[in-house]
A and B are shown apart, each in its own frame.
Chain A
Amino acid sequence: MSDVAVHEADHGTHGHTTSTGLSNNKVAMWLFLGSECLLFGGLISTYMLYRGRVSVGPRPGNVFDIPFTSVSSFILLMSSLTMVLAVSAAQNRDDRGTTLWLTITALLGATFVGGQVYEFTAMYNEGLGFTTSLFGSSFYTLTGFHGVHVTVGIMMLMSLVGIIKRSTIPGDKAEVVELIGLYWHFVDVIWIVIFTLVYLIPA
């Protein structure tokens, strides 16, 4: 069994130096994140175009609870720290530490998503539905896409915890941890941009 596992681990990088020296998976993740920049670029542009367009319903300044969102943003940023600790533990072949920090990262991410659900509910109760105004539509679309990205990230983190628990070789998933870490940091960085543009800069 362990031979097989070693062999499989080899295939992550094909047990062979690539032309660039970077593993295929890592180059692929960077490319994917590059593509994601354009996705969020499009969504953010749409929001920036439409944020002042309110004919009925609340305006941006009336519905945002900046202290609340600041706290949830802080929680999401802290999850980047725990993600770094998970990557570091994985590179030290410390599976217990890795799963611990991955779980904490996922919990912090879930707290953020929970906060977003609460925030959406509160805004809806204040009269801002998805179809109320162009501001509402573009706001929910942008932050909703981000929330879906965080949720997908949480699913990947939890699956990774399960996979590491099944694995018999300490640290053999270190690269996967790193790759999901890249994705996680990307989603956090995008949130910094969204938080600044959507919440902090007045329309």
Chain B
Amino acid sequence: MAIIERPVITESVEIALPATPSRAQGSFKRPVATTGWKSWLFTVDHKKLGIMYGVMAMFFFILGGLEAVLIRLQLAAPNGKVLSASVYNQMFTMHATTMVFLFVMPMAAAFANYFIPLQIGARDVAFPRMNAFGFWCILGAGIFINLSWFFGGAADGGWFMYAPNSGPIFSPSHGVDFWALGLQIAGIASLTGAINLIVTVLNMRAPGMSLMKMPVFTWLQLVVQFLLLFAVPVITVALFLLSFQRNFGATFFDVSAGADPLLWQHLFWIFGHPEVYILVLPSFGIISEVLPVFSKKPLFGYPFVVFSGAAIGFVGWGVWAHHMFASGLGPVSVAVFSISTMAIAIPTGVKIVNWTLTLWGGKLRFTAAMHFAIGLIVLFTIGGLSGVTHSVAPSDTQQTDTYYIVAHFHYVLFGGAVFGLFSGFYYWWPKMFGKTLNEKLGKANFWFMVIGMNMTFGPMHILGLQGQPRRMYQWTEARAGEGFFNLAFWNQIASIGSLILTVGIFLFIVNVIKTSRSKERAPLDPWDARTLEWMTSSPPKEHNFDVIPTVHHLDEFFHRKYEQDPVTHEYKQIATAEEIMADQEAHADKHIHMPSPSYWPIVLAATLPVIMIGVIYSIPVAIVGGIFLVLAMFGWALEPSTAPETDFDPPASEESTKELTPLV
């Protein structure tokens, strides 16, 4: 925020942070706070927004986790009485909605926001205010969807909300309305975020950083943003149709009016299948950073990992109907989608092989981050293999809507996406907060999670193949079966497992609290890392880099620290991170122009839930909200993204304007 003057180059502290906005833009003067709550509320700094995304996602992770525990408690004993049938339906619907849209996606966005600019050597994202807007939208969406608990009950049609369960007859409360309209707001957040990050990656790379020198995390996030860009509008259409049906009397999914209920299924899964890659690819990116660092080897087959990621991005669009094999699509469709589903296992398998070969012959360091990364490889492979069994349509017909499906997607989403995110926490925590998370607690966290998750989701394979239907609200002793296939036994194991899992997550929170209280600072380069985000202070300065690095290699930071001996081909250290930092500070840019904070993102985002509440309860409220929306858009459009020079005390001098270092 603002202009950073550097009259004396040896000083590394921030200098001359300005001051009073001299004139109003639109109706407000620009916010200027650099500390306190205002500096967070109106910030456009990608790092602050990344942390805000992370905090929000963690909150919803705990909320969704509690919902999961309630589900498991209900199924822990015969004739479960913890939840009523109606509340149980709401619970599994909201558990999935929360975990998918309000935990994994925002958490991946947290890492993307924080680390993409740092990894490509930029000072911020392309559209900083739009970045802030995206965060306030997803927060608003999360609160809005969960408000339904207090207004007559939450959505209860399952997270894919098939007709007719989503219709007014089977779901008379406003839960589905809150769900559909809330997801629209979340969609706006995803769309603005996708556009912003794609432009950032394409346009704002440091000099020399060609696409094939980008870190894999940035690459896979780029693929994810493209998936979001094209998947979100499809669910937007589906949600509009659903809302028009529920609120304005249309009959898009009403079979008695001649509608085709498969329309919803197609629209939902055209979004929904790319969505599963949206959830898991960021974690693939994270472990593709973690594994090379802790193996002290470059990623094996970098181009293969990148292109197989892109291949997943393409093929991911051609497999959606494997979610609908049981709906009677006809033999041709089933055959086509069967084969394409088998095909998509190939690029995923390529990644597994590459990660494994990265480990091969490396100097492995088993840190907590490394534990989670290896955990991902193993657990995701199990989930991937059960995924291949779904591609065989006759077998899938047996498995559809059983616990086998529940087992499969928890292995890929919990074992894949969540383990990757946790690997990211342990790997990047010192970068984000300047303190290293406790390794011992971290490993305990890992083991509780890995044991808990296998106990919870492993037995579900058996339960599912024995025919226990998904979303079943109670089971009875009379029909539980005998011996190895006793449903009661495996349900109890799963419920105990979920408690062990909870202990694991609890240990993580303990670790965070303990670390935040500790005084011990992390070293500048605690892991001997390879990529640009480590080539700055921890936490990074507001402008990220004192001088924008010029990139010559993949893994630029590693190549600045190590040099290969031409004869022995051994790498030997030529510089430490501290020396590289000192060199940067000595050559720091004198005049850095950062984007200015703004009121408009939060104001504009706040109008959306108002409009949505109006759509449900009273159209005049929606109209008033709409008027404020338009006003906020004008306020935004009339405000320059960077405050003019005259807004700063003292105004930038002629001379320094000449030396103006462009905002990357």
Q: Is B304 an interface residue (CB 8 A)?
A: no
Contact status of A24 and B644, CB under 8 A, knowing A19-B202, A19-B203, A42-B267:
no
Q: Which of A3, A7, A49, A137 contacts B250 (CB 8 A)?
A: A137
A126 CB, min distance to chain B CBs, angstroms: 19
Q: Which of B127, B630, B638, B645 contacts A24 (CB 8 A)?
A: B127
Q: Are A19 and B267 in contact (CB under 8 A)?
A: no
Q: Are B237 and A39 in contact (CB under 8 A)?
A: yes
In the assembled complex, the Cα of A201 lies from the Cα of B607 at a distance in Å of 41
- Using Cβ atoms and an 8 Å threshold, which residues of chain B touch A27? 198-199, 202-203
- Using Cβ atoms and an 8 Å threshold, which residues of chain A touch B645? 3-4, 7
Contact status of A131 and B249, CB under 8 A, knowing A11-B642, A14-B664, A28-B127:
yes
Q: Are A49 and B126 in contact (CB under 8 A)?
A: no
Q: Mark B108-119, 1 if CB is under 8 A from A, else 0.
A: 000000000000
Q: Which of A4, A16, A31, A163 contacts B664 (CB 8 A)?
A: A16
Q: Mark A61-87, 1 if CB is under 8 A from B, else 0.
A: 000000000000000000000000000
In the assembled complex, the Cα of A18 lies from the Cα of B205 at a distance in Å of 8
Q: Mark B257-278, 1 if CB is under 8 A from A, else 0.
A: 1111001000100000000000
- Using Cβ atoms and an 8 Å threshold, which residues of chain A touch B662? 10, 14-16
Q: Is A93 an interface residue (CB 8 A)?
A: no
Q: List 16 interface pairs A-B (beta carbons < 8 Å), by A numbering.
A: A4-B644, A7-B645, A31-B194, A31-B229, A34-B229, A35-B232, A38-B231, A38-B233, A46-B252, A49-B263, A50-B259, A53-B259, A155-B630, A159-B637, A163-B637, A163-B638
- Using Cβ atoms and an 8 Å threshold, which residues of chain B touch A134? 251-252, 257-259
**Chain B interface residue bracket vs A:** 35 or more
| B residues apposed to A, CB below 8 Å | 126-127, 191, 194-196, 198-199, 202-205, 209, 229-234, 236-238, 240-241, 244, 248-252, 257-260, 263, 267, 630, 634, 637-638, 640-642, 644-646, 657, 660, 662-664
In the assembled complex, the Cα of A63 lies from the Cα of B247 at a distance in Å of 26
A184 CB, min distance to chain B CBs, angstroms: 17
- Using Cβ atoms and an 8 Å threshold, which residues of chain B touch A4? 644-646
Q: Which of A10, A19, A43, A53 contacts B204 (CB 8 A)?
A: A19
Q: Give chain A's interface secondary structure class.
A: helix
Closest 9 A/B residue pairs (Cβ): A42-B237, A16-B662, A18-B203, A39-B233, A137-B250, A38-B233, A131-B249, A24-B126, A4-B644
Contact status of A130 and B250, CB under 8 A, knowing A28-B195, A141-B244:
yes
Q: Is A55 an interface residue (CB 8 A)?
A: yes
B512 CB, min distance to chain A CBs, angstroms: 36
Q: Are B252 and A55 in contact (CB under 8 A)?
A: no
- Using Cβ atoms and an 8 Å threshold, which residues of chain B touch A19? 202-205, 209
Q: Are B257 and A38 in contact (CB under 8 A)?
A: no
Q: Are A22 and B236 in contact (CB under 8 A)?
A: no
Q: Is A138 an interface residue (CB 8 A)?
A: yes
In the assembled complex, the Cα of A118 lies from the Cα of B646 at a distance in Å of 51
Q: Are A32 and B251 in contact (CB under 8 A)?
A: no
Q: Are A11 and B640 in contact (CB under 8 A)?
A: yes
Q: Which of B127, B202, B258, B644 contacts A55 (CB 8 A)?
A: B258
The B-contacting residues of A in range 141-169, CB under 8 angstroms, are 141, 155, 159, 163
Q: Which residue of B lies closest to A53 (CB)?
A: B258
- Using Cβ atoms and an 8 Å threshold, which residues of chain B touch A131? 248-251
